[in-house]
Structure 1
Amino acid sequence: MATSSKGAGSIVSQKRQQQIKRVGVYTTAILVSIFVTIPVYIMLLLSFQPPEVVFSGGQVNLIPQTLTFQNFNELLTTTKTVRYMTNSIIVTGSSMVLSTSIAVMAGYGLTRFDFRGKSLTARAVLFSYMFSPIVLAIPLYVLFYTAGLLNSYFALTLSLTAISTPFAIWLMWQYFQTIPISLEESAWVRGASRWRTVRDVVLPVARPGYISAAIFSFAVAWNDFTMARVVMSSDNMYTITVGASLFLDRVSVGWSETMAVSFLMCIPPFLIALFLQNYLLQGFSVGGLE
């Protein structure tokens, strides 16, 4: 009796289903790539060409004719781009370290210590992440104004940490659950303290988890606009996201310079995604975020 190549209850054969699935995946990947690549290409094009060349003939010239660093030189010499970038690096680095440290400690505590309402606490932490930053902006502004901390790195760092920490804690809580307690018990039997066990045993194993939390905290802080605009009132204290938006209101800074500063803003996230993508994928997949 001849066997059918079709699956039970299926009109389309298994091989045909796999081919359709493969074509669908490739088509989606190509469309997404085109959708992402075209804006990036235009940004690079405007960044490395003089404005008079790009907009010659009353329309954007999408074929590069001359390449120059004139736009970047204009940014570095006539604007506060360096200052804005420095502010972003300071605030982002501080927020990333603080948020990741809190997430590691809180995630480990939620995993290894039993107390009443532990599961409810973990879910409440994640629920707090659902609030939009603008909801927290006004209360934080009032608190910092009362304490006299407005227009300071400290205030903006705390604000960004408050936004990114809840999800980072949830991520570390999920990731620490994948680490067997037997590893720590083996160290305790050999006389190691809990702190040394965490430092020498748990943290090396949890590296993909807390690197993923750090990358997430970096993305929140680096791309933030709302908190920086609310907390900072001085032009010298603005981050690069706020500073770049101000360029559109200046007569001396055109679209080419604006695209150039946008390109500078993309460099740090691109480098992190390029060199740490494996840790990011491991952290989110093993951390139980299906």
Structure 2
Amino acid sequence: MTSTTSTPLSGTERLRPHTTSAGRTSRRRIRKDLLRSRIAAWTAVLVIGAFGMLPIYWLLATAMSSPEQTFQFPPKLIPTEITFSNFTALAENDQLIKYLVNSLIVASITAVLSVAVATYMGYSFSKFRYRGRRSLMHLVLASQMFPQAVLLVTLYAVFSSFGLLNTYTALVLSFTTFTMPLCVWMLKGIFDTIPDALLEAASIDGASRWRTLHSIVAPLAAPGMIAAGLFAFVRGWNDFIFAVTLADKEKQTLPPGLVSTYIGEFQTAWPELMAASLVVSVPVVIAFMFLQRYLVGGMTAGSVKS
């Protein structure tokens, strides 16, 4: 007589008949949800990317088109005849090159001056305690609340009385007026993250406050200083209203220079204007490419206080 013995099922085998259908359904549902979320995320990225890149593409397409193609109707998204004559004409325009040189001079000096003043003011607000400190901080911040056009009349009268109209000095001082407050608060936030113990250790070692700032604090705050300088440079590079009001044709920068060169009373040279706009944007793009890591680090360094 033979006896049969049954082998006990393992835990996995016992659970398999009960969980196979439900587990597969759950996994399919999870995969579908993940697929839908990825599709939605990529769709949002494509839509936002198209929204941001379409003006740049249209700028490039117009710059490489002839005037006849620019004004034809209906407009074509892709130009049929590509020309580079709009770009070559820029090198032959001596006045446009003069505007470019003016922009480089004014924007560079504005960046250096804004960072230099903001460094000392931000360090003073962050590491020193004195009477009137908080009121002065609020006063610096309150200067950003006034529209630029309101202060333009006052600045024009001041520069006129001192004989500074139609000079680089007037443009630099006016641009610095609006870039310095934000630079001050940006650098103050970065200086707040530097431990006071580090400054006390430098003082014990015999370092003066001047040397502590330049030899210890400034290298640590370099990303923030670069970010502030880049912000001031772009502000001076893109300004229109102050440059067109406070400077004559010899000292004007690119924004009013492009308007006066390509935009007339009865006609606008759109292909040449788009080509010039594309070319003058290159220095700012290059600056952002090389200083991107410093810009991100400087903008976020003072966001969290240690």
For the aligned pair, the TM-score class normalised by the smaller chain equals: 0.7 to 0.9
Deviations 1:50-102 (A, max 9, x none): 333x3375443322444433112223324621011111111101111101101
What residue is the counterpart of 1:42 in the other structure?
Answer: 58
The TM-score, its normalising length taken from structure 2, stands at 0.81
The equivalences for 1:167-182 within 5 A come to 167-182=182-197
What residue is the counterpart of 2:88 in the other structure?
Answer: 73
What residue is the counterpart of 2:249 in the other structure?
Answer: 235
Worse-matched range after superposition: 62-71 or 211-220: 62-71
- CA distance in 2 between counterparts of 1:282 and 1:56 reads 45
What residue is the counterpart of 2:104 in the other structure?
Answer: 89
Relative distance call for 1:208 and 1:197 in structure 2 (3 A) is same
- CA distance in 1 between counterparts of 2:74 and 2:301 reads 49
Secondary structure, counterpart of 2:281 in structure 1: helix
Q: Does 1:32 align with 2:48?
A: yes
What residue is the counterpart of 1:139 in the other structure?
Answer: 154
What residue is the counterpart of 2:76 in the other structure?
Answer: 61
Q: Where does the alignment leave 5 or more consecutive residues of structure 2 unmatched?
A: 1-29
Give the CA deviation at 1:171.
0.8
Letter in structure 1 aligned against 2:196: I
- CA distance in 1 between counterparts of 2:55 and 2:303 reads 33
What residue is the counterpart of 2:181 in the other structure?
Answer: 166
What residue is the counterpart of 2:296 in the other structure?
Answer: 281
Worse-matched range after superposition: 55-64 or 118-127: 55-64
Relative distance call for 1:121 and 1:19 in structure 2 (3 A) is farther
What residue is the counterpart of 1:185 in the other structure?
Answer: 200
Relative distance call for 1:118 and 1:251 in structure 2 (3 A) is same
- CA distance in 2 between counterparts of 1:281 and 1:261 reads 29
Deviations 1:18-72 (A, max 9, x none): 99887665544333211111110011112123333x3375443322444433112
Worse-matched range after superposition: 104-113 or 129-138: 129-138
Q: Does 1:106 align with 2:121?
A: yes
Q: Where does the alignment leave 5 or more consecutive residues of structure 1 unmatched?
A: 1-13
The equivalences for 1:246-257 within 5 A come to 246=260, 247-249=262-264, 254-257=269-272
Bigger Rg over Cα? 2
State how many pairs are aligned.
276
Give the CA deviation at 1:141.
0.1
Relative distance call for 1:146 and 1:169 in structure 2 (3 A) is same
Q: Does 1:220 align with 2:242?
A: no
- CA distance in 2 between counterparts of 1:241 and 1:22 reads 42
- CA distance in 1 between counterparts of 2:155 and 2:45 reads 41
Q: Is the 8 A contact 2:62 2:70 kept in 1?
A: no
Letter in structure 2 aligned against 1:236: E
The TM-score, its normalising length taken from structure 1, stands at 0.86
- CA distance in 1 between counterparts of 2:188 and 2:33 reads 39
Q: Is the 8 A contact 1:129 1:164 kept in 2?
A: no
Secondary structure, counterpart of 1:80 in structure 2: helix
- CA distance in 1 between counterparts of 2:32 and 2:211 reads 56
